[in-house]
Amino acid sequence: MRKHLSLIIAVAATFGLFATLLSRAIDSPETPVLSALSSFRYFTLQTNLFVAVIFWVMTLSKREVGPGMQILLGGVTVYISITFLVFALLLQSTWQPTGWAAVGNVFNHYLTPLAVIFYVFTNRQSLRYLPYHIPIWLIYPLIYLIFAFIYGNNTGEHLYFFFNVSDVGWTFFSLTMLGIIALFCLLSVAVIYITKKRVKF
């Protein structure tokens, strides 16, 4: 059952990435490869790529998930949950894709994140996370937030609207950053809590 679910998630994440990259390539016929690859600037594509890699490794591996992979899985669960929540709460109304982009949107922002959450929940008794994992999991999102801010300021192309300080203002920007970091921490605590062996649902 676990292997089958891992395979389903790996395929879903891969298909979502494929649909998004195909859409970007079609929309930019002069530079299709460059346009497709530039999509990986976005947190959504990066987190779905993490999911695809980890779940393909877990699917194809003949061994049980080791401690290192478990830590990575916990972090990726937090990241893909953020992808789902931030899009649903802040970004959904700002983007109405069509065609292959719409297909990728459904997989990248909804189906894959929910499938990963379901996987961790149903396999919580075999996973074990501790509070010291939280700082490890926070390294990537903090680096990404810094990257996105610097990238937008240097290029004028803001990956997400709340990075455009000239439009939203420093107060909104600061509160949004604090809110996102707090959400990362809360989700990390939630992952630790539900995977404690003594927790029963």
Span 170-196, pLDDT tens digits: 999 999 999 999 999 999 999 999 887
Single pTM value for the model: 0.90
pLDDT attached to residue 91: 80
Confidence label for 128 from pLDDT (cuts 50, 70 and 90): confident
Detail the DSSP E strand segments found in 30-110. none
Span 23-44, pLDDT tens digits: 999 988 888 888 888 899 999 9
